[in-house]
């Protein structure tokens, strides 16, 4: 007898379960058991009920061989859409981390992202931003369990995943986190597509390498536009690395968006918006917390194995070249000094200084070695533009790339950007040239500020 199919997903309920559940090599016996139940009268009734009310139902897999099969979660906040996904095996690292707290041990949690992660636009950013609300949930669980949570907010306003790859050691890995929440779907939409898939993958690989830590991907979006953000694109990497993924749009109704943003704001959610992000995320955590209690210790279940890269692993290995470590071949008109991100020092570590100049004839030449080469810089309506290019060992001159320090809407605050000069296939030597871009006379006296040069495929 042919089983009914789920039109939305295009496969049968058994295939649906197979796509979302891994039972440590017992898929075939489990499949037959579930298929038999679905073919029975009661099974068909249950299946129809599930299809009708799937957004509010938990599907519990029954015991197999005397052991409880891991659970698959269905709820309003995840797994009820094609976007938010939590496959069974993707939950294991998070469950393992929760086990630590449930045993009364110390748990380290970090949130990593841009300004929304800092809590910007919430009434009290530290306490009422989405990260602060999640921190309170973890601290409550610590009190209940007799454990300790060390929570660190590594949000840095205006930064994307390219910037994250050079700061992750100082702001995240130094805390040896058991769990990291990653939020870059908004800011990465302004990063060149040729860069952002590689930088985001490199960031994930830095977090996952040589570690059993849990990495949870949170995908936010602009007001009322789930497609305005890189969640869909980044979720390809989430699926490849088998990571839990939460899309804010999955638990927000179309008529609710106006409540979550104030005035003309379309990027930064207000206090209610932060509460909504946290509510859906905590709903997921709360359900998993209860499931972890019932399932018991999963510390012996498979450890993280880092697969080959889907796109590139070059941003897994990066080096930030700045005024303190650069091999300068020549310099006219550039002086040591650049903008220091005010939030950087609160997150930890020391932000190195780059170079700045208001000399229209300034020219800097640095020798570097790596696969790809890019420039980190800051933006303001008070700055001027620079330009940079690379010279290969054979004397070939690369394309001049505009370093757009002048951004008209950056009034009263700075932006932080990354621009790539060359994407290489192998590690090699380059000469990096940086000069002031010839522009309007009104730019005379204004500064261009370069935070540093990033080379990929190599480590410090």
Q: Is the pLDDT of residue 49 over 60?
A: no
Can you say how many angstroms the Cα of residue 428 is from the centroid of all Cα atoms in its chain? 29
Same domain, 218 and 146: yes
Instruction: Record the pTM.
Output: 0.82
In a domain, 300, yes or no: no
Domain boundary among 37, 54, 72: 72
Task: Name the least confident of 288-302, 305-319, 392-406.
Answer: 288-302
Which residues are within 8 A (CB) of 284 and not within 5 positions of it... i.e. 6 or more apart?
73, 75, 77, 78, 86, 244, 246
Are 291 and 143 spatial neighbours (Cβ–Cβ below 8 Å)? no
Same domain, 263 and 126: yes
Specify whether 186 is located in the same domain as 236.
yes
CATH of the domain at 395: 2.60.120.260
Residue 257 inside a domain? The answer is yes
Say how far apart CA 97 and CA 292 lie, in whole Å: 10
Is residue 114 located within the same domain as residue 236? Answer: yes
Answer whether residue 306 is part of any domain.
Answer: no
Assess if residue 310 is contained within a domain: no
Residues 151 and 99 in one domain: yes
Query: What pLDDT does 87 receive?
Result: 59
Q: Which residue has the tokens 């630590």?
A: 100
Partners of 219 in the beta sheet?
A: 247
User: Is 446 part of a structural domain of the chain?
Assistant: yes
Q: How many residues does the chain have?
A: 460
Last residue of a domain, one of 50, 72, 94: 72
Q: Label residue 295 by pLDDT band (50, 70, 90).
A: confident
**Percent of the chain surpassing pLDDT 70:** 80
CB 72 within 8 A of CB 61: yes
Instruction: Please check whether residue 325 is in contact with residue 454, taking contact to mean a CB–CB distance below 8 angstroms.
Output: no
107 and 249 inside one domain: yes
Domain annotation covers residue 89 = yes
One domain for residues 50 and 171: no
Report pLDDT for 44: 47
Residue 169 has pLDDT above 80, yes or no: yes
pLDDT at 67: 34
Separation of alpha carbons 190 and 9, rounded Å: 31
Burial 15-49 (b: 16+ CB within 10 A, else e): ebbbebbbbeeeeeebbeebeeebeeeebeebbee
Three-state secondary structure along 251-316? HCCHHHHHHHCCCCCCCCCCHHHHHHHHHHHHHHHHHHHHHHHHHCCCCCCCCCCCCCCCCCCHHH
* pLDDT tens, position by position, 340-353: 998 988 888 789 99
440 or 363, higher pLDDT: 363
Confidence of residue 28 (pLDDT cuts 50, 70, 90): very low
- On whether the CB atoms of residues 426 and 371 are closer than 8 A, the answer is yes
* pLDDT at residue number 338: 92
Among candidate residues 47, 72, 97, the one where a domain is terminated: 72
198 and 147 within one domain = yes
pLDDT at 349: 79
According to DSSP, the β-strands at 106-113 and 148-155 are parallel
- Among positive and negative, which fits the CA dihedral 67, 69, 70, 73? negative
Report the CATH number that the domain containing residue 235 is assigned in CATH. 3.40.50.1110
- Please report the pLDDT score of residue 86 as a whole number: 54
Cβ neighbours of residue 451 closer than 8 Å, sequence gap 6 or more: 322, 338, 339, 354, 376, 377, 378, 416
Per the CB < 8 A criterion, the answer to whether 136 and 149 are in contact is no
Structural domain that includes position 65:
1-72
Q: Which helix (H) or strand (E) holds 132?
A: helix 130-145
Statement to judge: residues 274 and 157 lie in one domain: yes
132 in the same domain as 232: yes
Q: Say whether both 363 and 281 belong to one domain.
A: no
Domain count, the chain: 3
Q: What is the pLDDT of residues 365-385, one digit of tens each?
A: 999 999 999 999 999 999 999
Per-residue pLDDT tens over the stretch 432-458: 999 999 877 778 899 999 999 999 999
Residue 45 pLDDT grade (very low, low, confident, very high; cuts 50, 70, 90): very low
Partner residues linked to 112 by β-bridges: 154, 182
Q: Kindly state whether residue 301 falls inside one of the protein's structural domains.
A: no
The pLDDT, as a whole number, for residue 166 is 97
Question: How far from 296 is each of 63, 86, 339, 394, 451, CA to CA, in Å?
Answer: 14, 19, 49, 61, 48
Q: In the predicted model, is pLDDT for residue 73 greater than 90?
A: no
> Which residues lie closer than 8 Å to 327 by C-beta, 6 or more apart?
366, 367, 368
Same-domain check for residues 64 and 80: no
* Domain contains 27: yes
């Amino acid at each position: 007898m042919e089983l009914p199919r789920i039109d939305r997903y295009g496969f049968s309920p058994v295939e649906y379960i197979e796509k979302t559940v891994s039972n440590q090599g017992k898929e075939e016996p489990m499949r037959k058991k579930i298929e038999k139940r679905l073919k029975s009268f009661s099974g068909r009734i249950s299946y129809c009920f599930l299809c009708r009310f799937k957004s509010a139902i938990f599907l519990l897999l029954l015991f197999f061989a005397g052991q409880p099969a891991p659970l698959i979660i269905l709820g309003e906040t995840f797994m009820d859409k094609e976007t938010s996904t939590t496959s069974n095996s993707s939950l294991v690292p998070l469950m393992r981390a929760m086990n630590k707290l449930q045993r009364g041990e110390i748990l380290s949690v970090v949130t990593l992202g841009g300004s929304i992660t800092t809590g910007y636009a919430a009434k009290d950013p530290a306490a009422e931003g989405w990260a602060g609300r999640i921190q309170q949930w973890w601290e409550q669980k610590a009190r209940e369990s007799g454990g300790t949570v060390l929570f660190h907010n590594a949000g840095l306003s205006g930064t994307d995943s390219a910037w994250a790859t050079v700061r992750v050691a100082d702001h995240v890995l130094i805390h040896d986190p058991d769990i990291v929440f990653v939020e870059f779907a908004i800011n990465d939409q302004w990063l060149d597509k040729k860069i952002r898939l590689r930088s985001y993958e490199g960031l994930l690989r830095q977090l996952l390498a040589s570690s059993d830590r849990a990495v949870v991907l949170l995908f936010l979006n602009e007001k009322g536009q789930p497609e305005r953000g890189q969640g869909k694109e980044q979720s390809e990497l989430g699926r490849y690395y088998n990571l839990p993924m939460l899309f804010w749009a999955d638990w927000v109704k179309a008529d609710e968006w106006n409540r979550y943003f104030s005035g003309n704001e379309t990027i930064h959610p207000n206090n209610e918006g932060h509460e909504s992000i946290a509510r859906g995320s905590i709903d997921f955590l709360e359900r998993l917390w209860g499931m972890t209690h019932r399932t018991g210790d999963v510390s012996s279940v498979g450890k993280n194995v880092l697969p080959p890269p889907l796109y590139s692993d070059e941003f897994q290995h990066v080096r930030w070249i700045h005024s303190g470590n650069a091999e300068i071949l020549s310099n006219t008109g550039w002086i040591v000094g650049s903008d220091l991100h005010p939030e950087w020092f609160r997150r930890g570590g020391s932000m190195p200084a780059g170079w700045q100049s208001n000399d229209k004839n300034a020219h800097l030449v640095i020798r570097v070695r790596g696969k790809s080469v890019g420039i980190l810089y800051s933006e303001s309506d008070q700055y001027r533009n620079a330009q940079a290019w690379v010279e290969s060992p054979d004397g070939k001159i690369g394309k001049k790339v505009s370093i757009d320090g002048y951004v008209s809407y950056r009034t009263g605050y700075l932006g932080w950007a990354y621009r790539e000069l060359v994407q290489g296939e192998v590690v090699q030597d380059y000469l990096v040239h940086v000069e002031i871009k010839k522009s309007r006379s009104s730019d005379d006296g204004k500064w261009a500020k370069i935070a540093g040069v990033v080379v990929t495929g190599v480590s410090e």
